[in-house]
Structure 1
Amino acid sequence: MENRTDLWTRRTGENHALPPRLRLASTGTLTYGLPVREVLGVSTLADAVLVAGAAGLDRVVQRLNVMEVPDVLAWVKPNELLLTTGYPLRNRPAALGHLVTGLNERDVAALAVKPGAYLDELPAEMIAQADRLGFPLIQLPEHVGFDDILNQVLTDILNRQAAILARTEEVHRALVQIVLCGGGLREVTEELAALLGGAVLTLDGEQRVLARAGDPQDLRSLEDWLDGLPTPGLHGDRLAVPVAAGGLDHGLIAAYCPGGDLSETEVGILERAATVAALVITKQQAVAAVEGKYRADFLRDVLAGRAGEGSRVMARCAGFGWDLDRPVAVVVASLDLDPAGPDPATGAVSASGAGNADDEAAKLAQERFAAAWTAAVRRRDRSAAVASFAREIVAIVGLPAIGDLQDLVNGLVREVSSGESLVFSTGVSRSVKTPERLPDAYDQAVKAVRVGRQMHGPGATAHFDSLGVYRLLSLVEDTAELHSFVRETLGELAEDADTEAADLRRTLQVLLETNLNVAETARRLHFHYNTLRYRIGKLERLLGPFTEDPHLQLNLNLALQVLRMRGI
């Protein structure tokens, strides 16, 4: 395999040695410069001697300074090459050992000393301390002037920075050209892998792989590394760069180049690639939003029975990858996330009255909810129709070949619930065999959501066939009439605040459930037989002779069922 320098030369026509490894500053930003070992290679330092601190030759030099005062520690900066004749400490040579310690603590890159007029030789303690700390200590030749060193080293640093910027800018243009020619994340990732000579992964905000390129073994190694990655950044031969745009985290790009540490050039390339990837992702999101709205509008028309003639509808469905011409059922899922609570009439969630922050949070929650449901449905039925409406997700799924519809829906609910910290209610229609019956199935699923939430509160899953009498009660739009019916039928037993009334109502409910079997009711309620006989007498004085009147029994049963429906 050709090395990274050869690959760059082939692609750009330039022939420069790859720059040195970079150092990450405490803020996580890149700091460009020359390592001390390369600084020693410039012509003005050809006769310089590394006296001590060889372990620190990879320290990066970004700036130079001259020591003119004894208290220089207050003025030095990180990544500086400090030059001195020893004049400020000419009368205190023993202080040079402490000077090395102080410079090392302040992340100075190296100290270059020109002995002669003010310092005959470097003290042994100074040399020993520099070796212990891995702090490069350089002895300069007498014939070299500080101005020559300053000029040449600073020129090399600036030239290096300019070369890096030029290279990364050219890569940026090449990657943008890929996008302008219709390429996507796959093509960008493949180009990166070719440029770096390694493995590259592009991941979304949920750490799912969007594109990959490179040797399969290197890719597996990179994926294993990402699983334990605490924060993005440079880690020797591995690098992870965030993909961000508009203040949103869209994921990251990670690279692994075995055989050597990554350099400033590769980091710059990956940073530019992250910018291009953010452009691609935001473009895809915009396109997906338009397509999603188009699909949702069409599915809404299908479920409203106004999509047009059957064969035309099926043709458009096929264009979306949907197969509705088979036995299917409609599943509706609706978030339960309004902090103000459910609507008093229907139990449905409403965002009315919420501030802008709450509206934005609800929008983001709905987007996450839609993505989770779409992914879960697609894994089970590639031909299912899935769309996000304003307050709900609608899926038209085929009946499973193995198992039943209830198992399928329960699996969907479990997967979405485990992957997202969202509470939602789900409704399921009866199965239908023809597309013409889909509007009825959709109405059934919507009813199941509403009644399930009324009966069991947030997070309920209800099937239309299991609603029983609640299905009929949900058809009554005048809730005031239902309240009136409950008060007229149950009288003072309808009051929730009265604990004795609630206790008697529980006794009545169990009596009706056991078909007025006194012995079974006493056993369930843990009452003595005579105690229950006394309570039955009290209930008949309040409600009438319900033990003898089947019509009164029916009314009482209905009133109790209405009370069970939350929000009525």
Structure 2
Amino acid sequence: MVRKTNASQNGDSGAHRTTVDSPSFADVVASGLLVDPTVIAGDPATARDITAVAVMMLPEIGPWLRPNQLLVTSTTVLARLSGTIGDFTARLGRNKIAGLVVRLDEGCELPGGIADEVAFPIVTTSDDIVAGHEFAQGLAEMAKTQVDSVLRADHLRRGLLEIVMAGGGYKALADAVAQRLGGAVLITTPDGRQTCRAGADADFCWLASTAALDSTGRVRTDALDGGLGLHRFDDEYVAIAAISANGIDHGRLVLFCPGSTLACEDLYLVEQAATVCALVVSRELAVSAVEEKHRANFVRDLLRGRGGDPEQVIVHAQMFGWNLDRNIVVVAVEPDVLDDDAPTAPARLPVIERQARAFVGAVAGRDPGAAVTALATEIVIVMGESSDTMTLVHELVAQVRGAGGGGRLPFGVGVSRAASSTVDLPALYSQARTALEVGRKITGAWAVTHFDDLGVYRLLSLVEDTDELESFARETLKDLTDETAEAQDMRRTLEVLLATNINIAETARQLHFHYNTLRYRVAKLEKMLGPFTAHPELRLDLSLALKIIAMRGINS
């Protein structure tokens, strides 16, 4: 009934557990493993069958948690939890453990609320588990491994803290972690964009060949079980921990050692190193918050036409590393409005700040003198005009968006014309906003629109009385504004007819209709809308009405 599982089988080097052929929870409790067992919460009859018995000697048990475990700990360990007992039991529930055994230590009571709304049975015992029992094999070794991990983590933390106290940043920490843990290290944003790396090029080539990275080089934080934990790729492992400060998720620390087996204790070390990385985040946020406030105020003044003399503006911008002494364009970026998802743990920075950081990184390699600023609800980029500005903007959007997926919330982009003076920034900003808003209405999510591409939509967007626009569209198109599939199909036919200047043969080709079928449709449309094939003025009205529908989203 009992067998020993080694590290090569489960990737938990040093974290040996006794594994069993899935006995029931009641069978294990009745087996004599526990001294005076008492069920204080949950229903043993509905508990998961047990595939492993594991010991919890330290509060940060995360790396050693597995589904269907019977986890054995004590009131002394529970008293040292950094969070609430409710958070702890909820985490065990999410990891689908089979049950929790708590040894009642003298002078240390059970935490209050431990039995509230738990998804698994909790059993108390008056003494250690019975040594030599078949279910207890390997637990002493696992306990020793966890204690050793605490000592190693303390040594690692002390070394990394010295680097931070000396003013070192992410690069210095990445180098130190790679050297001390003997592998390669990545530091990324919460959605996996690489910001810093340390280690051998060959190791990064190996990582790029695995499913851990997407085609853009992002770590797949949205696909790898939330991006956290120990992940196996063939015979190799990647350990990923969250960098969080003040309850906010700021990124990931990634360790990989091709040719060496990573285990639970290695993940524990990476998690502890990530807590030191969070100190760098806190330090940099404190400094950048003041600087960002000044940058944002300066940009707001520029966009409102209150920046002052152009020469003074150029000099002031140079203090922030921005080059405005050239032909410039304005790019406005605004996240799409989405329904709020369930809150995640840890929380994340506001989407504006996350996307602004992403654009800062993307722009830096292409236009180091560009200004990227996060305002209240949008990001404004003032960049130099290039030979193909829209191609550059699409490259920036592609880099920030990555392969799509978790963390890459959709956004719209509007691009202005170019101008040679900072005096024109208010007009450029207005153009970028118009392109963003109208482009989003026409194209939907991920719209990237240049002001000059709006055509007649520019004029329609200036009409403040939107009810009058919609009334004109409905009166002109009549039944074609209905929500029916037939109405939408006929609208599509009309659009192509107008686009081909009533070329029946070309329209039939584009719509894959027989020539006679299309002539029948034209007759039907003229019966509904009037003789538009013979009257250019009516065709103009119909074309405008169709554009209003596209822009206003009427029945779309």
Report the TM-score range of the alignment, normalised by the length of the smaller protein.
Answer: 0.5 to 0.7
Deviation at 1:475, TM superposition (A): 0.8
SS in 1 for 2:369: coil
Deviation at 1:325, TM superposition (A): 1.7
2:479 touches 2:487 (CA, 8 Å); kept in 1? yes
1:295 equivalent in alignment to 2:286: no
Is the alpha carbon distance of 1:311 and 1:501 closer, same or farther for their aligned partners in structure 2, counting shifts above 3 Å? Answer: same
1:179 equivalent in alignment to 2:179: no
1:24 equivalent in alignment to 2:15: yes
Deviation at 1:372, TM superposition (A): 2.7
2:238 touches 2:262 (CA, 8 Å); kept in 1? no
Distance of 1:519 and 1:197 partners within structure 2:
70
SS in 1 for 2:365: helix
Amino acid at match of 1:486: A
Aligned to 2:417: 430
Aligned to 1:376: 362
Is the alpha carbon distance of 1:410 and 1:257 closer, same or farther for their aligned partners in structure 2, counting shifts above 3 Å? Answer: closer
Matches within 5 A, 1:74-93: 77=129
What is the number of equivalent residue pairs in this alignment?
410
Unaligned runs of 5+ in 2: 1-12, 18-53, 59-125, 213-223, 232-236
1:495 equivalent in alignment to 2:481: yes
Deviation at 1:76, TM superposition (A): 7.3
Unaligned runs of 5+ in 1: 1-21, 32-73, 83-101, 111-156, 340-353
Is the alpha carbon distance of 1:164 and 1:538 closer, same or farther for their aligned partners in structure 2, counting shifts above 3 Å? Answer: closer
1:456 equivalent in alignment to 2:457: no
Is the alpha carbon distance of 1:362 and 1:558 closer, same or farther for their aligned partners in structure 2, counting shifts above 3 Å? Answer: farther
**TM-score (norm: length of structure 2):** 0.58
Determine which of 385, 391, 394 is the counterpart of 2:380: 394
**TM-score (norm: length of structure 1):** 0.57
Matches within 5 A, 1:32-43: none
Aligned to 1:251: 252
Deviation at 1:474, TM superposition (A): 0.7
Distance of 1:389 and 1:527 partners within structure 2:
56
Aligned to 2:51: none
2:372 touches 2:381 (CA, 8 Å); kept in 1? yes
Determine which of 509, 513, 538 is the counterpart of 2:527: 538
Amino acid at match of 1:459: W
SS in 1 for 2:419: coil
Is the alpha carbon distance of 1:23 and 1:376 closer, same or farther for their aligned partners in structure 2, counting shifts above 3 Å? Answer: same
Is the alpha carbon distance of 1:481 and 1:105 closer, same or farther for their aligned partners in structure 2, counting shifts above 3 Å? Answer: same
Deviation at 1:314, TM superposition (A): 1.2
Distance of 1:535 and 1:271 partners within structure 2:
69
SS in 2 for 1:382: coil
Amino acid at match of 2:361: A
Amino acid at match of 1:411: E
1:241 touches 1:274 (CA, 8 Å); kept in 2? no
Deviation at 1:416, TM superposition (A): 2.7
Deviation at 1:535, TM superposition (A): 3.7
1:476 equivalent in alignment to 2:469: no
1:407 equivalent in alignment to 2:396: no
Deviation at 1:480, TM superposition (A): 0.7
Radius of gyration: which is bigger? Answer: 1
Distance of 1:495 and 1:108 partners within structure 2:
71
Deviation at 1:534, TM superposition (A): 4.1
Deviation at 1:538, TM superposition (A): 2.0
Deviation at 1:334, TM superposition (A): 2.5
Determine which of 513, 518, 527 is the counterpart of 2:516: 527
SS in 1 for 2:412: strand
Distance of 2:490 and 2:271 partners within structure 1:
71
| Structure with greater helix share of residues | 1
2:330 touches 2:381 (CA, 8 Å); kept in 1? yes
Amino acid at match of 1:279: L
Distance of 2:509 and 2:330 partners within structure 1:
42
Deviation at 1:479, TM superposition (A): 0.3
Distance of 2:354 and 2:186 partners within structure 1:
20
Determine which of 404, 420, 430 is the counterpart of 1:443: 430
Distance of 2:182 and 2:488 partners within structure 1:
72
Deviation at 1:476, TM superposition (A): 0.8
Aligned to 1:566: 552
Deviation at 1:252, TM superposition (A): 2.8
2:336 touches 2:445 (CA, 8 Å); kept in 1? yes
Deviation at 1:562, TM superposition (A): 1.3
Deviation at 1:482, TM superposition (A): 0.7
Matches within 5 A, 1:118-517: 175-188=160-173, 196=180, 201=185, 203-204=187-188, 205=190, 206=192, 208=194, 210=196, 212=198, 221=203, 224=206, 231-232=229-230, 242=241, 244-245=243-244, 246=247, 248=249, 250-252=251-253, 254=255, 273-339=273-339, 357=343, 364-401=350-387, 404-421=388-405, 422-488=409-475, 490=476, 492-497=478-483, 505=491, 508-517=494-503
Cα distance per residue 1:193-230 (max 9 Å; x no partner): 78x59667462353736364xxx65x855985898799
SS in 2 for 1:380: coil
SS in 1 for 2:393: helix
1:199 touches 1:222 (CA, 8 Å); kept in 2? no
SS in 1 for 2:334: strand
Distance of 1:256 and 1:272 partners within structure 2:
18
Deviation at 1:433, TM superposition (A): 2.3
Aligned to 1:150: none
Is the alpha carbon distance of 1:379 and 1:532 closer, same or farther for their aligned partners in structure 2, counting shifts above 3 Å? Answer: same
Distance of 1:491 and 1:225 partners within structure 2:
57
Amino acid at match of 1:372: A
Deviation at 1:457, TM superposition (A): 2.1
Distance of 2:491 and 2:271 partners within structure 1:
69
Aligned to 2:105: none
Amino acid at match of 1:474: S
Deviation at 1:279, TM superposition (A): 1.5
Deviation at 1:380, TM superposition (A): 1.8
Amino acid at match of 1:336: D
Deviation at 1:464, TM superposition (A): 1.2
Distance of 1:523 and 1:242 partners within structure 2:
56
1:326 touches 1:434 (CA, 8 Å); kept in 2? yes
Determine which of 89, 113, 137 is the counterpart of 1:106: 137
Is the alpha carbon distance of 1:441 and 1:106 closer, same or farther for their aligned partners in structure 2, counting shifts above 3 Å? Answer: same
Amino acid at match of 2:385: L
Distance of 1:388 and 1:394 partners within structure 2:
7
1:386 touches 1:396 (CA, 8 Å); kept in 2? yes
Distance of 2:431 and 2:251 partners within structure 1:
38
Is the alpha carbon distance of 1:278 and 1:355 closer, same or farther for their aligned partners in structure 2, counting shifts above 3 Å? Answer: closer
Aligned to 1:555: 541
SS in 1 for 2:417: coil
Is the alpha carbon distance of 1:529 and 1:371 closer, same or farther for their aligned partners in structure 2, counting shifts above 3 Å? Answer: closer
Deviation at 1:326, TM superposition (A): 1.4
Cα distance per residue 1:326-367 (max 9 Å; x no partner): 12322223223413xxxxxxxxxxxxxx69949x98964444
Amino acid at match of 2:280: V
